[in-house]
Structure 1
Amino acid sequence: MNRKIPVGISACLLGNNVRFDGGHKRCEFASVDLAPFVRYQPVCPEMAIGLPTPRPALRLTENAAGTVELCFSNGQGEPITEEMRSFSDKVIANMHHLCGYIVCAKSPSCGMERVRIYQQDNNNNRKEGVGIFTRQLMEQMPWLPVEEDGRLHDPLLRENFVERVYTLHEFNEMWRSGLTRGKLIAFHSRYKLSLLAHSQPDYRSLGRFVANIEKWDSLEAFAMEYRQRLMDLLKNNATRGNHTNVLMHVQGYFRPQLNTKQRHELTSLIENYRQGTQPLLAPMTLLKHYMSEYPDPYLSQQRYFTPYPEALRLRYGH
């Protein structure tokens, strides 16, 4: 996984002056922290359909028939809903290589959730909309990790998004190299501890699904279904409780090699993490030390310990 990962992004988040007011909404995490590891494919749907900058602001507006349209906020001109949908269909059809997408929050074209929907004849609105472009993106590629710039300020959501991006990238690379049952099963095995940290019930369910791989006539159909189930599972944020269970499970691999003092130190670090007085990095670092000292073939292949580059520092604060 040495190649840069292809990720879509709203162009304004990279600092491009494409917004309706001629400005941008540069996202520092995307444009600085994540940028060295990904290859961005920036898109501004509004400019892509021919709108200038600056331009009148757009808004989602519910008409008398109850249909949500993409309209100019000044009330002038016709809705441009169909132009946006037509563009979205065309461009998204060529985005299946992407491993993630970062969209601009609150945007009537790119917002992922809670976009304002206005009433036709007044300023009454409700935060229940999804941007036209992003809605079609998520409908056509439901497995794709999609996140808003504002939500990326949350450390848990930020780590979850990046982990999903890297997981999908590895899955896509495996698929590109030529699908076999062995490769699919080996991929699932590498992610077992990671999946446990996200959802134990879903982990068990996915395990049963993989166990029935021989019953599928089409390996591609199996891979597509597995990809969707995998990415749905990883949408669950890894919890402190689940991480603690995984850490204790890994600890068991070293009980024969560790003396009483070492076992107590490791147990204390895990308990401190469980109680919130130590970050996950603390017990993880000690476990990695024991993994190098007492190698185990199963543990050494687990993505749980290195789900993304350590340089991103995503586990430092929780």
Structure 2
Amino acid sequence: MATDKATILVVDDTPENIDVLAGLLRDDYNVKAAKNGEIALKIAHLSPPPELILLDIMMPGIDGFEVCQRLKADPVTRHIPVIFVTAKISPEDEIRGLDLGAVDYITKPISPPIVKARVKTHLALFNQNRELDRKVKAQTEVIADTRQKVIERLGRAAEYKDNETGMHVVRMSHYSRILALAAGMNEADADLLQAAAPMHDIGKIGIPDRVLQKPGKLDAEEWEIMKTHAEIGGEILGDDESELLQLAKLVALTHHEKWDGSGYPKGTSGTDIPLEGRIVAIADVFDALTSTRPYKEGWPVEKAIGLLEEEAGKHFDPKLVKLFIENLPKVLEVKESFLD
């Protein structure tokens, strides 16, 4: 039967002591009992876990101090408030218990009003902290989501200047994450790359319109100007301590390098090109090829894949091209989800 009562775990090796506390608290709370530390640890891991533990110190097997230490060392149970209920209450014991993470002591023989008051107080604090954690987590998610939207819009600002309208930076950032995971990158690093990738061409903001928006083919001088957008992007993103901006700078500077060393700005080749730059190069080109723009029709996926295969070992890391093709169903699912 569903209930809104908080659950309290009473741990004591003496049944009479458990009966006294349970009788005192059961009208207001759900009370569970454990006669030793081993059972207490098992109950603490049940779902839902207790919201407060009243813990005796002197018990056979593992004593209350060790039970508390194990509870606080475990991420699953460390948040549960522990109150020691004991006749052993020397100053040294009290300090030891508080150092282990207990929130309070209640001395035996117990005073019913004190037990009720302490339990009520610590449950209220526990609930306040839990609600605060929930709000902080929700606000953190909002901040992270806002940050990502700002990053995407910064990336799109450069793309609009280059007639790359629509969802290009969103799609290619998702493609980058898919490929990063396929290449063995962990989830956190792949997420960071997805967040950084939209800023890959931010340096185009610094390219003159006469070059960036020229309808025909660029001459040699204009092409040299165009190539500077990678280093301009690095300068815009700067030398910030932010891990995200550091990665964004790395991507801006390296995603136009080519596997055979014919890219720019440094002419770096092979695995000397950072993995993140090699990943974004493939994601960026694939989306650019398959996207329709005012000045061109989007290529069929098969034709774009054919170009990636043809350029494997020249423009692109051949192993990453293979992984990208192996994960094409995931790529196409993203493509359909973020249409222009």
| TM-score w.r.t. length of structure 1 | 0.26
So what's the TM-score if we normalise by structure 2? 0.25
| Greater helix content | 2
Instruction: Looking at secondary structure, tell me which structure has more strand per residue.
Output: 1
Which gives a bigger RCO, structure 1 or 2 (Cα 8 Å, sep 6+)? 1
Q: Give the greater-gyration-radius structure (CA).
A: 2
